[in-house]
Structure 1
Amino acid sequence: MSGILIFSSQYGEGHFQAGEALTETLRMNSASIEAKHLDFGSFFFIKDYVLRKAYSTMIKKTPKLWRVIFEKTSSITAEDCRKIAKGMEKKKVLDQIWRYEPEVIVSTHFIPAAIMGELKLKGLINVPLVTVVTDYLVHGLWIHSGTDKYIVGDKNVGKRLMDAGVATEKIMPTGIPIRPSFSQSVSKTAARQKLALKADGKTILVMGLNGKPVSSVEEIRDILYTLSAEISAQFLVVCGSNKELYSELKKNIVEDKLGVKLFGHVENVQELMAASDLLITKGGALTISEAIAMGLPMLMYKPIPGHEKGNALFIEAGGAGKMVETTDELIASVVEWVNHPEQLVQMSLAARRVLPANPTENAVNFILQQRKTQKAKGIHAEAIS
């Protein structure tokens, strides 16, 4: 392979989607560059499953405990957790690296970034390592001395890395990579027509609320019923891969009566966003980055403490949305904005100013600049101590 090897993760959809966005853009830009995208968890199925299960359980059942852990460990770097990384330095990972002989290795999650950093410090790989920080709040676990370059969402994230001791020349604020389709212009009228929606009136997109602290079918149902009684609008509700949520909402709401369209997993998020006037979500960095690219105002409801709340505060500071923690706040904000659409217009304009334009192209160009002729060393995995 003469090209780029990308490691991501399924700890939340955002890390994986960032890897997919980079892979797609690399393949579109040059036929001579091969891009390979791998989920690092597939190499450590049992350990990956346990870690993901523990994380999922904690944010669902004890989000306050997760907040405490996140805040108390925020200054801990990846190298302070070497035992975890050491346990994952498996022969299968090195075999993949040596098989593809990449010119650059990119990580969109801090665990593979830490593993790659450890392998490089041990001399087992010698190609440039690029870490893509896929949040607007930096936890120390993203930082490793073996990392050569960091791609970040904006200059403020870069400043936090510099405050933690990362050299300025290692940081590039390109914006978080998003799928290329989000750089294509789609008119609201065309999007609504394609989706068979009403051409006039407000359209509200609800997505990303399919996990704690917002996962109650009753809670989402009550929000939809209350809003439909308070305002004239149509609602697009995306349940993602949560088939149970989709099935229960299908049973519990009358879509035609409420002006609701239910969706499961979708590939046309860009069209749904283009058709909408407001997004109600939590605080996933990829979702809000996509919304920013579309100029779509956001209401971030009960973001997960830690990284998601940091993302939500970032959007608030940029004037592109608002964070709320209660159903009453959510209802009041939506009603206020729909009744005063000039506020939505101002937030839409602010959204387009928050981040750099063409983030994925920027990131890809920066990654390609790191290429070297020297390939990954073919050292046997037995060299791992």
Structure 2
Amino acid sequence: MKTLALIYASEGTGHKSAAFALREAFLAANPDGEAFCLDILDFVPPFMKSLFSGGYDVMARSAPWLWSRFYWGSDRRGGQASAFEWVHGQFCRACLPKLRQRLASKGAEAAIFTHYFGAAEFAAMNRGRAPVYFADTDFETHRFQRSAEFAMSFAGSPRAARQRIAEGITNVVTTGVPVARKYAKMPSKAEAREKLGLPHDARVVLVSGGGIGAGPVAEAAKSLASRGFHVLAVCGGNAKLRARMKAYFMYKENVRVEGFVKDMENYYAAADLAVMKPGGLSASEALCAGLPMLLADPIPGQEELNLSYLTANGAARRLVLPQRAAEAAEKLLENGEAREMSEKAKAIARPYAAAEIIAAVTENSEIW
């Protein structure tokens, strides 16, 4: 196989990150091949893209209760699910023929979806032609991600694989969530702190709102800074949050406020602990660093399920009150629990997930 298509949706940032991680893994294994990433929302009218992409960001930041109704209502069969299926059907009719033409023009021999928009329907449309795969970006799945139409599904965790098997979907492989290759070879804590200019003997906590900069980043950072922690605050694409925090912490030398960070591996490696939202990609990256996590304000649906998985496996604890982040961090670091959490995080980390997915797709597509 020489040409692979990676299909994501610009709803949040994790699906795109996973697609580009898979592209990176494919090109590493196939230097003469071609892999291209496409946003499926580019194949629908602009108003639909704004509705799906912008609507998610607004709900995640400002109205999580509304996202909860959407997620759980569509995950369980009923009137709300039927209404969404109708909307999704209109979406598929608008974009899938165009997507198919684009893939044909580029000679794509296989496609991997990292978002469910149109995924199962496109797999059915291509039955007997180029195989279509699905790769999870969370540790549990929504029912729209589970389909026997896919040539193969790549589960983000054993729990996600069991969900499919329980429904009779057996063409599933547990690989973990695909992350960039750099997370397979993390810098040491000393190296990372040297690169970031941090004191080697400091207590360092990473506070992150994920790619969209949601959650109680400011509240947690204030709590930690007041107790002498060195705080690495990452605001992602939330420019307003970043500006507000930069102004508030202007004279605090122990607080660093960032937007998007390209060398995130150094931030994970430098930290003793993270206060973050349980996004599938960011949590998977943190696991590769063996970074203990305090998880706050999960977005209803997928992030609640991620929190359940991570806490059940001992890699994280829930932080109910972000204003007391410093107390929670001190407790974990002083009683040795953080070290135990770090080991458990490393035990469930899957830094080679993208390479494993590409190897399986390459083998299966050659047989196809």
Common fold: TM-score over 0.5? yes
- Cα deviation, 1:54-110, whole Å, max 9, x if unaligned, reads 333333343223223322322459995562343334543122111122221110000
Aligned to 2:144: 141
One-letter amino acid of the structure 2 residue matched with residue 141 of structure 1: F
Aligned to 2:338: 344
CA contact (8 A) 1:202 1:338 kept: no
One-letter amino acid of the structure 2 residue matched with residue 119 of structure 1: M
Unaligned runs of 5+ in 1: 375-385
Instruction: Write the mapping of 1:243-282 to structure 2, written as runs, cut at 5 A.
Output: 243-257=239-253, 259-282=254-277
Does the alignment pair 1:367 with 2:361?
yes
Following superposition, the deviation at residue 255 of structure 1 comes to 4.7
One-letter amino acid of the structure 1 residue matched with residue 193 of structure 2: R
Aligned match of 1:100 in 87, 106, 113? 106
Aligned to 1:292: 287
Cα distance change, pair 224–59 in 1 and its aligned pair in 2 (3 A):
closer
Following superposition, the deviation at residue 360 of structure 1 comes to 1.7
Structure showing greater relative contact order (alpha-carbon pairs closer than 8 Å, 6 or more residues apart): 1
Counterparts of 1:185 and 1:133, CA distance in 2: 23
Counterparts of 2:358 and 2:211, CA distance in 1: 31
Instruction: Write the mapping of 1:1-385 to structure 2, written as runs, cut at 5 A.
Output: 2-44=2-44, 45-76=46-77, 81=86, 83-120=89-126, 126-166=129-169, 168=170, 170-208=171-209, 214=215, 220-230=217-227, 232-257=228-253, 259-328=254-323, 330-340=325-335, 342-356=336-350, 358-372=352-366
CA contact (8 A) 1:133 1:176 kept: yes
Counterparts of 1:6 and 1:322, CA distance in 2: 33
Cα distance change, pair 322–127 in 1 and its aligned pair in 2 (3 A):
same
Aligned length: 362
- Cα deviation, 1:297-329, whole Å, max 9, x if unaligned, reads 111110101101111111101100112232255
Following superposition, the deviation at residue 129 of structure 1 comes to 0.9
- Cα deviation, 1:94-139, whole Å, max 9, x if unaligned, reads 2211112222111000004134124225xxx711111011111211
Following superposition, the deviation at residue 241 of structure 1 comes to 2.1
Aligned to 1:378: none
| 4+ runs deviating over 6 angstroms | none
Counterparts of 1:234 and 1:164, CA distance in 2: 47
Name the SS of the counterpart of 1:110 in structure 2.
coil
Cα distance change, pair 55–224 in 1 and its aligned pair in 2 (3 A):
closer
Unaligned runs of 5+ in 2: none
Cα distance change, pair 310–145 in 1 and its aligned pair in 2 (3 A):
same
Cα distance change, pair 155–138 in 1 and its aligned pair in 2 (3 A):
same
Q: Please give the root-mean-square deviation of Cα atoms over the aligned residues, in Å.
A: 2.4
Counterparts of 2:214 and 2:18, CA distance in 1: 24
Cα distance change, pair 46–302 in 1 and its aligned pair in 2 (3 A):
same
Counterparts of 1:256 and 1:59, CA distance in 2: 29
CA contact (8 A) 2:210 2:236 kept: no
Cα distance change, pair 225–31 in 1 and its aligned pair in 2 (3 A):
closer
CA contact (8 A) 2:221 2:233 kept: no
Counterparts of 1:17 and 1:68, CA distance in 2: 26
Name the SS of the counterpart of 1:305 in structure 2.
coil
Following superposition, the deviation at residue 359 of structure 1 comes to 1.5
Cα distance change, pair 91–233 in 1 and its aligned pair in 2 (3 A):
same
Cα distance change, pair 80–247 in 1 and its aligned pair in 2 (3 A):
closer
Following superposition, the deviation at residue 211 of structure 1 comes to 5.3
Counterparts of 1:115 and 1:10, CA distance in 2: 19
Following superposition, the deviation at residue 209 of structure 1 comes to 5.6
Query: What percent identity do the matched residue pairs reach?
Result: 23
Following superposition, the deviation at residue 222 of structure 1 comes to 4.2
TM-score in terms of structure 1 length? 0.87
Following superposition, the deviation at residue 373 of structure 1 comes to 7.7
One-letter amino acid of the structure 1 residue matched with residue 9 of structure 2: S
Cα distance change, pair 336–16 in 1 and its aligned pair in 2 (3 A):
same
Cα distance change, pair 15–34 in 1 and its aligned pair in 2 (3 A):
same
Counterparts of 1:97 and 1:247, CA distance in 2: 41
Counterparts of 1:120 and 1:315, CA distance in 2: 36
Cα distance change, pair 356–210 in 1 and its aligned pair in 2 (3 A):
closer
Following superposition, the deviation at residue 356 of structure 1 comes to 4.0
